[in-house]
Amino acid sequence: MNILLKISILILLISSFANAHSKKKSLDTHIHGVSTLNIVQEKNTLLFEFEMPGNDIVGFEYEAKEQNDIEKVENAINILSDYKNLIIPSGSAECKIKSYSANVINEGKHSEFISSYKFNCNKISKLKIVYIKYFNSFENGKKLNIKIIGEKKKAVYVIEKSKKLINVKNHF
């Protein structure tokens, strides 16, 4: 499966979630403290994508209109714009950042932050550990649901705030 197909599948899943989320507009469909990290591999390329409730990132979920709230959102986007504030692939894989994006999506009374980081890795099969910095940057986060689609292994993990790394040995 090529990277464009994998990315399309992830976008479809995210869109489905966003559509369901905006139609229901219920806190029952939204769990504060729980974010998602999707990791997708295609050959030597890795894509890391975070989906995070607004409350976990800035402390509220409405669209920022007051200057103080706007500054919190701008600060969050600045933090999200540097992958080192969320994840760091171990050096053995020789991964270099190629592109990134960080956005906030407001839907009704809820907001989500989405950030993605695309890496090219010279020795992707040597990637053993991904350091998780997300919890250091956003203290309201309590859990991180991680979905990995690697060429060698697919996996789902849930990590708590106290966990600082994930073992990805033999995934790529």
Indicate if the alpha-carbon torsion angle 117, 122, 123, 129 is positive or negative. negative
Phi/psi-derived region of residue 25, left when phi > 0, alpha when psi is between -120 and 50, beta in every other case? left
State yes or no: pLDDT of 155 exceeds 90: yes
Predicted confidence at residue 32, as pLDDT, reads 86
* Residue that the structure tokens 């966003």 belong to: 18
Predicted confidence at residue 2, as pLDDT, reads 53
Model pLDDT for residues 22-69, shown as the tens digit of each residue = 333 333 355 889 999 999 999 999 999 999 999 999 999 999 999 999
Query: Do 118 and 98 touch, CB atoms closer than 8 A?
Result: yes
163 vs 22: which has the higher pLDDT: 163
